Amino acid sequence: MILVAGGTGRLGTVVVGRLVRRGLEVRVLTRDPERATHLACDQVQVVTGDVRDRDGLGPATAGVDVVVSAVQGFVGPRGISPATIDRDGNANLIDATRAAGADFVLMSTVGASPESPMELFRMKYAAEQHAAARGLSTTVVRATAFLELSIELLEKTAARSGRPLVFGRGDNGINFVSVIDVAALVERAITDPTTRGQILEIGGPDNLTFSELARAVQLAAGRPSSPRHVPPGVLRLMAATIGRVKPELGRQARAALVMDRVDLTFDTAPIHRSYPDLPITSLADVLGHSKV
Ligand SMILES: NC(=O)c1ccc[n+]([C@@H]2O[C@H](COP(=O)([O-])OP(=O)(O)OC[C@H]3O[C@@H](n4cnc5c(N)ncnc54)[C@H](OP(=O)(O)O)[C@@H]3O)[C@@H](O)[C@H]2O)c1
């Protein structure tokens, strides 16, 4: 039995689908079972729980062989943050996994480090460290930015004006990876015990600027207009003003500033040398699928 915390999410949904096709029994942890209706089938059990509720995780992890954490608190409103979910929630899940005697697969981020300017990356690192300190049999999967999420954001902001919003100058190199590729590596991590004790890093074939990504989305949608930009000065102002009232908006503005200046390019060749059967999904493939 595999427990997938975050199984209702963008990545988790693809991971659960892959595990089911492999014939495995899956338990999905969600705060709201309504969010798991698209996963319903004989092999999938849905359990209600919250990674912030330490005691509630005992029943969810009972009888499980591998626990997967694909949760995140980056975009959450008050009370839901990288600190409460990615660090503390994962710590609760790690402790419950240890008590259940299961292995652990942790979704983390390329760039996870205690010195990162990105709060999320520091909190992911703290979770990695917690798993190591507990002596848990763990595989860490670190991924770059999800292509599907960025395309979704560009589409959403283009909905009214036809012109997507790029946060910042948009001229910084960023690696984008499809959840299809990440899910294949997560499945490998779950089912291959030789990955325990390893940190597996995956990116996509595309290192792009946000402006390039926005132009590709426009082209695929047949929209001739150019993207709009939120200048870095406005992002700083947002972080210092609205960010005080709505922490999630402040967090997103600060993250956009980091993504606008820190080199986030990545070479994904090493993971494909280690696991040549992993898919390599390009921007063109994803734009073709989503028919934007
Ligand atoms: N998005 C990226 O660019 C990116 C890049 C690198 C790594 N990652 C990592 O990849 C993983 C999946 O990301 P994603 O974008 O697919 O996530 P997502 O679609 O935003 O889904 C987030 C998941 O977290 C669960 N969750 C949030 N708070 C929870 C809580 N308190 N208790 C239990 N579950 C909770 C949600 O479950 P319910 O709402 O059903 O409760 C949902 O299934 C995350 O660990 C993320 O940090 C993401």
Closest CA to 120 of 50, 72, 53: 72
Give the confidence band of 77 by pLDDT, cuts at 50, 70, 90: confident
Classify burial at 40, counting beta carbons within 10 Å of its beta carbon; exposed 0-12, middle 13-18, buried 19 or more.
exposed
Q: What is the pLDDT of residue 291?
A: 46
Q: Residue 281 pLDDT > 80, yes or no?
A: yes
Q: Residue 56 pLDDT > 50, yes or no?
A: yes
Residue nearest to atom 17 of ligand 1 (CA): 9
Count the Cβ atoms, other than its own, within 10 Å of residue 218: 20
214-268: per-residue pLDDT in tens? 999 999 999 989 999 999 999 999 999 998 899 999 999 999 999 999 999 999 9
15-28: per-residue pLDDT in tens? 999 999 999 999 99
Q: How far apart (Å, rounded) are the C-alpha atoms in residues 38 and 8?
A: 8
Question: How much is the mean pLDDT over the chain?
Answer: 96
Residues near 33 by Cβ (< 8 Å), separated by ≥ 6? 46, 48
**CA separation (Å) from 29 to 16, 17, 64, 67?**
11, 15, 12, 10
Over residues 21-46, mean pLDDT: 97
Residues near 276 by Cβ (< 8 Å), separated by ≥ 6? none
Count the Cβ atoms, other than its own, within 10 Å of residue 277: 7
Over residues 188-198, mean pLDDT: 98
- What is the number of the ligand 1 atom nearest to the C-alpha of 89? 31
Q: What is the pLDDT of residue 200?
A: 98
pTM to 2 decimal places: 0.97
Q: How far apart (Å, rounded) are the C-alpha atoms in residues 215 and 166?
A: 10
Protein residues with CB under 6 Å of any ligand 1 atom: 5-6, 8-12, 29-32, 35, 50-52, 70-73, 80, 85, 89, 107, 109, 143, 145-146, 149
3-state DSSP assignment of residue 141: strand
Q: Residue 284 pLDDT > 70, yes or no?
A: yes
Closest CA to 4 of 193, 190, 247: 190
Could you list the beta-strand ranges (E) of 82-133: 103-109
Q: What is the pLDDT of residue 290?
A: 56
Give the confidence band of 44 by pLDDT, cuts at 50, 70, 90: very high
107-162: per-residue pLDDT in tens? 999 999 999 999 999 999 999 999 999 999 999 999 999 999 999 999 999 998 99
In terms of phi and psi (left: phi > 0; alpha: psi -120 to 50; beta: otherwise), the region of 48 is beta
Give the confidence band of 89 by pLDDT, cuts at 50, 70, 90: very high
Pick from 3, 4, 11, 252 the residue to mutate for probing ligand 1's pocket: most ligand atoms within 8 Å of its CB: 11
Query: Are 59 and 65 a contacting pair, CB within 8 Å?
Result: no
Classify burial at 79, counting beta carbons within 10 Å of its beta carbon; exposed 0-12, middle 13-18, buried 19 or more.
exposed
In terms of phi and psi (left: phi > 0; alpha: psi -120 to 50; beta: otherwise), the region of 127 is alpha
